[in-house]
Amino acid sequence: MFFLKSNINPIFMSILPIVMLAGCGSEDKPSTITTDPTIIALDKLGGAYIRGTPKTKAELLSIFKSCNHPKELLISPSDGQEFIIVYSVELKGLKVTGAQLPIVAFEKTGKDGKRYALRGMNTVVQLTEAELKSSVFPEGYKFPF
């Protein structure tokens, strides 16, 4: 016999963590780490939508406070202006994915002809003005520009 009974347990125990890690990934969205402060700010904003549906800036700031997030996250590091946020958007339970998810926050002017936007609760995309205007927004939303 190639494996002795006494060798099976150590071999199994050394392989087990690798097998467990392989099964923990998500196929929908690869895990990436970013240092871009605008993406990080929008991601934290999306986290607020996961915790609730902010109806006003005050409610959003209350959620930020409960998460120990600074209110400065409402200002885009890219253009230095406050993000435009679409409030009162219920995102939980949506049956759509990808580009069909509504935009809930975006940069006022952006940088280099592109603006970062938060699609749904956790997808940050960079769009031109034309792409932004043709994106899906919550029903009844009117552009401020």
Q: How many domains does the chain have?
A: 1
pLDDT band at 19 (very low <50, low <70, confident <90, very high): very low
- 23 domain residue, yes or no: no
- 94 domain residue, yes or no: yes
Q: pTM here?
A: 0.74
Mean pLDDT score, 127-137: 94
- 3 domain residue, yes or no: no
pLDDT band at 14 (very low <50, low <70, confident <90, very high): very low
pLDDT at 49: 85
Q: Tell which wins on pLDDT, 141 or 55.
A: 55
C-alpha span between 69 and 23 (Å, rounded): 32
Residue with tokens 């609730």: 52
